[in-house]
Structures are given as structure tokens and as C-alpha cells.
Amino acid sequence: MPARPRLAALALLGALSASVFAQPITLKIDASAPGKAISPDLVGIFFEDLNYAADGGLHAELVQNRSFEYNAAAQTDWSPLTCWEFVKRGGGAGSLWVDDSGPVHPNNPHSALIQILDTGEGVGLSNPGFDGIAVRAGETYDFSIFTRVLNVGARRDNRPVGKLPLSVRLETKDGVVIGEASVEASSPAEWKQLTATLTATQSVTDARLVVLVKAPGLIALDEISLFPRATFKGRKNGLRADLAQIIADLRPKFIRFPGGCLVHGDGLSNLYRWKDTIGPVEQRKGRRNIWRYHQSVGLGYFEYFQFCEDVGAIPIPVVAAGVSCQNSTRTRGTGQQAIPMSEMPAYVQEVLDLVEYANGPATSTWGAKRAAAGHPEPFGLKYLGVGNEDKITPEFTERFRMIFEAMKAKHPEIVVIGTSGPASDGEDFDRGWKVADELRVPMVDEHYYKRPQWFWDNLARYDAYDRAGAAVYLGEYAAHDDRRRNTLRSALAEAAFLTSLERNADIVHFASYAPLLARRGHTQWSPDMIYFTGTDITLTINYHVQQLFSVNHGDTHLATTVSPLATPARFAASSVRDSRTGDLILKLVNGDASAKPLRIELTGEKNLPATAVKTVLTGPDENTTDARTVRPESSPISIAPAFDYEAPAHSLTVIRIETRR
Ligand code: AHR
């Protein structure tokens, strides 16, 4: 264990031998006791553009590499034309180049330049989206494109003015047209955005978007985009409705974004800069993603804040602490780069500007940009993460201090969340906490990915944390089972740990499982909470656990004595009250292979009903990974001031008692 005294484990769960499991366990809860006020916002989510979580994921854009900005920095065989096929139909002839001589915007330097010599049945481009474009019969799709007509006419009779008709199609991979629209590009040679609506006539999972120029000439194309009209909440430049809904169903109390390692980046040039991600999408600065692909930042800071608001979650953005990831340029811990001190004042200002962007009046410089995007009201930012799992070097500390003190001076209302390195203990952990203690940082972000047994063995971790010190945000955690599978065993280890977080939610204010999303076939990290393709979403048992704890949160923890206790722990419980409804909520986790008889003594509740609702998550085998069969099942349960309940083998049970207060 680390030197920090607050981590000296209590012997809370560790007195008796495993043999006591043959006996029934008694739980005693005194509902008349005032209990302990706890964070009502304990369970939220951490979103990072990892595993194609944003482009090709939550962002509903269906075209891949829409702005021709893919390049070899992200993947060695990528270029601006990756995912684009030059198509010449029915005798069409012409040429295609990548052009950077007259960009739509300097942040978006490349476009496709097409010369059409013979029209045939059309010359243009085809894009397969992300593993094929999934469309549904009868649904509407919004197409847009930036065009710049440089010439009209073929070969010897070029005319500098005129019009070029474009046919826009959804095609099956066999070339059957299943949706079509027309737009007309016209000179003068300035970029113009054209829009059209397509309605799919068939449902397919692997359509292509095809844009055909239907007359001779020279035309530049950029920002070729296709969105389903039905985005989440119908937002423009919106989110994929089914994925966003699955996330909303978690009822996350907060959303941490946009990363992760993504934030502090692969070297200084790769730091995530929030200002690059706002404004008209064609003006945003796409960038190499640290997870070795490209991020268009179509899902940018405005959309993140908007999503938080749409799902009722507290926004928790994270900015780099003026240093890059210590593993930058594949250095394994020695690659941290620090912003030169001469540039730090500008960087600090950039961080302060984020608060103005989120909360400032619509008349302020940055608040005006938020208003221009359609949100004159403030987003109500209260928390800001500074740093992610950084190596706690003198360079880090100096820069973190600058940002922290500037924020305290200018925006004392913002709770800054510090960082404690990438592990549950060790040098960076201790140093991160030391920095936080010295500067009196109000909250510290901890991260750990551990074996399931570690979570069972560390149920007392936060019992000993110093209540006078910083609060904790457990920003990333997950139980990593063998082959990094999403097993029932891993989910129950997380559930057991969550009972300990609830017990300690006076000091642990937030906790988020990580990572959240993974597109099948494009996954750099596992396990994840939700897997998806273009059409399907697969939940995990870990998702069910997160949802059960989130939906059944409370704001008061009621002391719960469990006897006998056993070592190693295989049973964990917590009891909370939700003061808005008055409901009492018991959570019982049995990690054992046999059912556990429980005697539950619930004293001091005047309005105890005769029945409650129990929701059980269990499966026949803790190795199981199938979240369709291992899913929460709810049913009534008879209760009394003292009642018996048998917790099934390998199970989480939530008993929700309406007390009609
Ligand atoms: O959650 C995946 C990664 O794990 C995050 O980017 C990083 O913070 C951690 O190492």
C-alpha cells in the first residue's frame, strides 16, 4: 500500500474465516437514524473518443473522412482520399486530385478537385461510411456539401461561369439506387454549401453515398456530409439517436469528456484544444487521435455541453494541465512534454476562456460564440478537470499550479479536479495527492483498472480517507477479467465496489466506469461498457450494474451492519435513502457460487409497506458474458421489519422500498 495514511485499510470486512459463509448473514439497518449525507451524483459516465466512440460512433455523421483530412500521421496508409472512391459511370472520364490551394477554411486545408472531361452517366466520388452506411426505408437523410466551381465545360470550350448539376445517391454495394436527390453547383469560384434531402427506399446496413457530377467542368468538393434527420433530440450536427438513448438510459448524473489520454495527447502538438472544436464544422480543426485514427471534432465542445443538458448530466470537461501524456511518442513513461513557460499565460487564458464559453453572458467574447451556436443561456459549468493521469513531475506541478491559481482567482465558483496519476497507488498517486493537499485542490481524479478480486479486496479503500482533504472523483475504473472480457464476475466486483463507494459518497462524489463505447472492429481498448456496429448495440453486464446503481441512487447513506463478516469478502451491501421520494434502497452483492441466506432487519421505518420491488441481476456462471440473458429482472418481494431473503449465487439484488413519506 502507498505511504499515504488515508489508505491504511480498515479491518472492516476482514475478521472471520470463509467458513462462516455457511451461516445466514444478518443485515441491520436503522432507518430512523439520520444517516450520512452522500453525493446524489455518484454514478455518471466518462466519454472519450476511443474505439471510434465519436466519429463512427456517437456523432451521427454517416460519411467517413468527410473533409479529406485523413493523413498518414494517424495511420501510415491513410491519405486525404481514404474512404473515397473515384467513380466514372457509363463512359464518364476525368481526373481526381487532392487540392490545398484554396481551402474552405485554413483549419480544413484539403479538398477533392475533380475534372470531368466526359460526363457519361456521371463522374464523382463514393464513400462507404464507417463499414457501410446503415439506412432505413422511409427515413430522411440530410445531405450537405461544399462546392467551388472552377470551370464549366469540357476541354477546349471551358467557360469560367455556369452551373454543374450533381446527382446525390444512396446506393447499395451492388449499385442499386435507394435514395436520390439533385443539387446544382454554380460559379463564381467561391465555396458554397449546398443541401439536399434523401429518403431511403430500402433498409440496408452497407449503403454508399455517391456524388456524381453530371456535366463537364472542374469542381472542388469538401465537407461531404450525410446525417440521419432523426438524431438524438433532433439536433443538427447531432448524435446517433439509439446510442445516445442507451447512454441516456443510464441516467448519468455527470459526463466527463472528451478524454482520457486524448486530452493530454501524444506530444504537445496533439493536446486537445477546445477552441478548435467549436463553431461551424467546416472551420473546426480535425486532428490525429492519440488512439491512432482521425477525429473530425464534429462532436466538439458545444455538442458535449448540449448532450449533457439533453440528458440532465453535470458537464465535467477535462483540459490538459499544460503537459502532454508521459507516454507520448511511444516512450512508456518518459515522454511528457511541457508547454514552454513563456506560452503558459496564453494557455491559462485558453482554460479561463472555456468557463466564459460555458457560462459567460451572450455578450461576452466566448459566450457570444455559444450563443451563435444556438445556446444563449449558460451551460452551468461547475467542475473542470485539469490533467489526466499525468506523471507528477516538477513541470506538471508548476503548470497545474498556474492553471489552478488563475482559476481560483478568476472563477472561484469552479471546482477544479486535480489528478493522481494512472494507478491506484504508487509514486504519481502519492505525488498527485501531495500537490492537491498543498494547493488545497477541492477534488482529485483517481483511475484504476484492476482484476475483479482487487475490487473485493479493497472494499475498505475509502473508509479511511481523510474527510478534511480533497473529495474524490473516481474518473476511470473497471474490473479487468481474464482476456479482458465483460464477465458477470467483473460486473459483480464493480457492483461490490460501488456499494463501498456509496458508503463513502460523502468523500467520493463521482465515479465513472471506463471506457464507455466501442465500435466493433475498431476497438483499441477492452473491456468497454457498450459495444456497437452501424446498426446494433450490445450492452454488457457491466452496463446493467452501472444503470442499477445510477437509477437507484440516494442522497443519504444508512449505516448497514453485516454479520458475520468474512475474508476474503464475497458479500457486500449498502443502504441508501432517496430523500426526493423517501424510498429506501438496499443493494446486496453476492459474489459467491452458492446462494446466500440473509436475515434483513430494517428497524425504525414507520411507513414500511408490506411489499417492495426487488431487481435481480444474476446468471448461472460468473464467466458468462451474455448481457441479454444476464439482465435485471424485477418482481415484488414481501418485506417486514425483519424478513428473509436468499441472495442468489453470483448476483446483485436491488430492493427498492417505497415509504410514501
Ligand atoms: O479509458 C481508457 C484510457 O485509460 C484513458 O484514455 C486513460 O485516461 C486511461 O489510461
- Per-residue pLDDT tens over the stretch 122-177: 999 999 999 999 999 999 999 999 999 998 886 555 566 689 999 999 999 999 99
C-alpha of residue 244 to centroid of ligand 1, in Å = 21
Q: Which residue stretches of the chain have pLDDT < 50?
A: 1-21
Cα gap 404→439, rounded to integer Å: 8
Cell 494512472 sits on residue: 422
User: Of 417, 413, 405, nearest to 356 (Cα)?
Assistant: 413
Residue 340, SS3?
A: coil
Q: Is any atom of ligand 1 closer than 6 Å to the C-beta of 525?
A: yes
- Judge whether 624 and 584 are in contact, CB under 8 Å: no
Q: Is any atom of ligand 1 closer than 6 Å to the C-beta of 432?
A: no
C-alpha of residue 166 to centroid of ligand 1, in Å = 44
Residue whose CA lies nearest to ligand 1 atom number 4: 260
Q: How many CB atoms lie within 10 A of CB 355?
A: 19
C-alpha of residue 303 to centroid of ligand 1, in Å = 21
Using alpha carbons, list the distances in angstroms from residue 482 to 50, 206, 571.
21, 34, 22
Q: Which of 50, 325, 477, 523 to mutate to test the pocket of ligand 1 (most atoms within 8 A of CB)?
A: 50
Sheet with 25-30, side-by-side order of all strands: 560-563, 25-30, 596-603, 642-647
Q: Is any atom of ligand 1 closer than 6 Å to the C-beta of 55?
A: no
Q: Which of 293, 447, 513, 516 to mutate to test the pocket of ligand 1 (most atoms within 8 A of CB)?
A: 447
Name the grid cell of 151.
Answer: 470551370
Q: Is any atom of ligand 1 closer than 6 Å to the C-beta of 97?
A: no
Which atom belonging to ligand 1 lies closest to the Cα atom of 449? Answer: 4
Q: What are phi and psi of 543, to 5 degrees?
A: -60, -45
Q: Is any atom of ligand 1 closer than 6 Å to the C-beta of 422?
A: yes
C-alpha of residue 483 to centroid of ligand 1, in Å = 18
Q: Is any atom of ligand 1 closer than 6 Å to the C-beta of 367?
A: no
User: Of 304, 333, 309, 340, nearest to 319 (Cα)?
Assistant: 304
* Strand intervals (E) in 437-522: 443-450, 471-479, 508-513, 517-519
Which atom belonging to ligand 1 lies closest to the Cα atom of 476? Answer: 1
Residue whose CA lies nearest to ligand 1 atom number 3: 260
Query: Please, what is the end-to-end C-alpha distance for the chain in angstroms?
Result: 44
Ordered alpha helix ranges (H), 107-187? none
Q: Is any atom of ligand 1 closer than 6 Å to the C-beta of 476?
A: yes
Cα gap 660→640, rounded to integer Å: 15
Cell 511541457 sits on residue: 338
**What DSSP letter does each residue of 190-210 carry, written as one string?**
S-EEEEEEEE-SS-EEEEEEE
Name the grid cell of 291.
Answer: 488512439
Q: How many residues are present in the chain?
A: 661
Report the interhelical angle of 301-311 vs 241-248 (nearest 10°): 50
Which atom belonging to ligand 1 lies closest to the Cα atom of 514? Answer: 1
Which atom belonging to ligand 1 lies closest to the Cα atom of 422? Answer: 10
Which atom belonging to ligand 1 lies closest to the Cα atom of 388? Answer: 8
Residue 369, SS3?
A: helix
pLDDT of residue 5: 38
Cα gap 655→575, rounded to integer Å: 9
Residue whose CA lies nearest to ligand 1 atom number 1: 515
531: burial class by Cβ within 10 Å (0-12, 13-18, 19+)? Answer: buried
Cα gap 27→609, rounded to integer Å: 19
Q: Which of 332, 525, 528 to mutate to test the pocket of ligand 1 (most atoms within 8 A of CB)?
A: 525
C-alpha of residue 348 to centroid of ligand 1, in Å = 24
Whether 389 is catalytic: yes
Residue whose CA lies nearest to ligand 1 atom number 2: 515
pLDDT of residue 262: 97
pLDDT of residue 157: 55
Catalytic residue among 69, 223, 389, 622: 389
Instruction: Count CA within 13 A, CB hemisphere, residue 393.
Output: 16
Q: Is any atom of ligand 1 closer than 6 Å to the C-beta of 261?
A: yes
pLDDT of residue 339: 98
Q: Is any atom of ligand 1 closer than 6 Å to the C-beta of 279?
A: no
C-alpha of residue 646 to centroid of ligand 1, in Å = 38
91: burial class by Cβ within 10 Å (0-12, 13-18, 19+)? Answer: exposed
- Judge whether 625 and 594 are in contact, CB under 8 Å: no
User: Of 296, 288, 245, nearest to 62 (Cα)?
Assistant: 296
Question: How far out from the chain centre does Cα 120 lie?
Answer: 46
Residue whose CA lies nearest to ligand 1 atom number 8: 260
Name the grid cell of 400.
Answer: 497545474
Q: What is the CA angle 44-50-52, rounded to 5?
A: 110
Q: Is any atom of ligand 1 closer than 6 Å to the C-beta of 259?
A: yes
C-alpha of residue 477 to centroid of ligand 1, in Å = 9
C-alpha of residue 412 to centroid of ligand 1, in Å = 29
C-alpha of residue 380 to centroid of ligand 1, in Å = 26
The pTM is what? 0.95
Residue whose CA lies nearest to ligand 1 atom number 5: 260
Q: Is any atom of ligand 1 closer than 6 Å to the C-beta of 517?
A: no
Which atom belonging to ligand 1 lies closest to the Cα atom of 515? Answer: 1
User: Of 80, 81, 112, 103, nearest to 282 (Cα)?
Assistant: 103
Q: What is the DSSP letter of 579?
A: T
Q: Is any atom of ligand 1 closer than 6 Å to the C-beta of 514?
A: yes
- Judge whether 574 and 508 are in contact, CB under 8 Å: no
C-alpha of residue 441 to centroid of ligand 1, in Å = 22
Residue 438, SS3?
A: helix
C-alpha of residue 326 to centroid of ligand 1, in Å = 13
Which atom belonging to ligand 1 lies closest to the Cα atom of 525? Answer: 2
